[in-house]
Chain A
Amino acid sequence: MNESAAPANSAESTIYEGDLLSVYGREPLLPNEREYKFWSAHGTCFAYAIATWCFLTGGITASYVGAFEGMVCLIAGNLIGVFLVSASLSAGCQRYGVEQIDFCKPAFGQNGARVVLVFYLLNMIGWSGLILVMFGNGIVNILDAMGYTAPDWLVGAGVALGIWLTYIITTRGVHLLSLFNSIITPALIVIILFMFYMLISSHGWDEIMNAPPLDPLDTPWLNYAIAIELGVASGMSWWGGIGFLARNTRTRRNAIYPEVIQLGLVFGFVCSIALFSGLVVGSDDPTKWMVPLGGAFMGVMALAFVALANITSTSVSLFASGLALRHLPSLHRRSWKFIILLTCIPLVFFVVWPNELYDMGDAFLAYNGTMHAPVGGILLVDYFFLKKQRLHLRSIFEAAPNGLYYYSKGFNILALACVIIGQLTYFWVYNPFTDEAREVFRFVPASIAAFVVPAILYWAGMKLWVERSQKARLAGLGAQPDRLVQPNV
């Protein structure tokens, strides 16, 4: 949002080092400061959803199942995963205008939320690095297909170009991001439909539907179960961006419906294009398969798609990461450009070692899957069933021990323990590194188990133990003042 759109009839937004600390910081965002209405919410969710991570997910699914089963698993699984993690986040962040890590404080505690922050930043920046490498690889693929020999350093240069473009967009604020997405989204829709048409017209629907999976495991049910897991885990992996998107929407409907439709349904559909291409062309990367189908023009189209899609998605990720970095006391009041520059520093590793880090992507994705589910389960139970959708906003910004969400030395040990239990549950049901699975995996995806088990334990633990000890703690401290004692901004 630009400065002229600052609130006029309510709290005046503080400008610090030239930045509005509501929009570029963690202050609760008032409804009249929020950028996203119906179309812009859908456009931003769409632009965020569509990136080469769709192709990565669809490509992996092609190893296990055929086109029909894969499409069902990707679309249905994504819808389930997105809804489970976004229901509480979008409802809470939109209602109170708070940033995502702040929303974690009622469950995890003032300092416990910082543990989530570490994981959050690893997730957001890791994903951004991976898709920027895919952008760099796209440039090399197109040059190769056109008969040029691309030097090795070109992938890293592509990553550097992506970081620079992202930095420019992100430092200009949510308004420019929204404007950029409103231009990009129609272009992305046209390119996606065109890619789909090219694939169908070249190979035919029957060939796609009858294509066997590329590298299935010996146990048939396991292939299907892994494909469902890929769908659900992909849906849950949107956890990182949901709070940012919801916080910037003016109505609750604009917060949650675009997330479910764009991040769940549309994402699943685009993953399916990659699944189809993986099955019939042998590659999920459009910069590889578009050139043989239609020559250099198609290659340029594919590259334009990869560039636009990845830059918009990385911009949303880095914006949300920048807001999250504001939780570090030394960065509370630093300039927005400085914060975004900091988020770009880890990405430099992807410039220097693009393919080495990209090759670690599978392990990174698998680890992410084990973290989103338990955190999502805990937040859902905490917001809807324990806090009954009523947060004490002042306590979120109160670092003193008298805050409601201080718990024990700033940590809700129960919530952190439940995250670990959730991770162990995930690995017990299914080990994504070795593809070993228990019988229960046939009926329940590991992400769902890792969502439900910690959620139930957290609910029981809060009722039986933490809520009682909280009452005793707060009674000992006396009445909470109606002003912040130790504001954490």
Chain B
Amino acid sequence: MLEQEKVSNLVNDLEQRIDEMQNMDDEELGTFGRLDWTILILISIVIPAFVLVVAR
């Protein structure tokens, strides 16, 4: 396959991927709601910060 043809295939593939990922519904990549954010903020920010202040 010629170099130019390879590059052209690559760009076509990239275009397809861009369209597919851009148009994909968020839910197709797994649900992640407010509860998840709340849990993460609690275990990663609120509780650690509280513990650091208390331990000081």
Contact = CB atoms under 8 A, between A and B. Distances in A.
A27 B52 contact: no
A393 B48 contact: no
B18 A76 contact: no
A371 B10 CA distance: 34
A30 B24 CA distance: 10
Contact of A80 (B9, B22, B26, B45): B45
Contacts of B31: 251-253
A483 B16 CA distance: 10
Nearest to B52: A76
A14 B40 CA distance: 37
A228 B13 CA distance: 47
A10 B20 contact: yes
Given A14-B9, A28-B21, A487-B11, A83 B51 contact: no
Interface string B11-49: 101111110111010101111100010001101110111
Nearest to A398: B18
Given A77-B48, A83-B44, A22 B17 contact: yes
A interface, size bucket? 35 or more
B14 A487 contact: yes
A397 B18 contact: yes
Nearest to B41: A83
Interface string A7-18: 000111110100
A228 B29 contact: no
A79 interface: yes
A73 interface: yes
Contacts of A483: 15
A22 B30 CA distance: 21
Contact of B18 (A12, A87, A250, A394): A394
Contacts of A83: 40-41, 44-45
A402 to B, nearest CB: 15
B44 A12 contact: no
Nearest to A80: B48
A209 to B, nearest CB: 13
B55 interface: yes
A279 B20 CA distance: 54
A20 to B, nearest CB: 10
9 contacts: A28-B20, A83-B41, A84-B45, A251-B30, A251-B31, A252-B36, A260-B43, A484-B14, A489-B14
Interface of A: 10-14, 16, 21-22, 27-28, 30-31, 68-69, 72-73, 75-77, 79-80, 82-84, 87, 91, 94-97, 224, 228, 250-254, 256-257, 260, 264, 333, 392-394, 397, 483-484, 487, 489
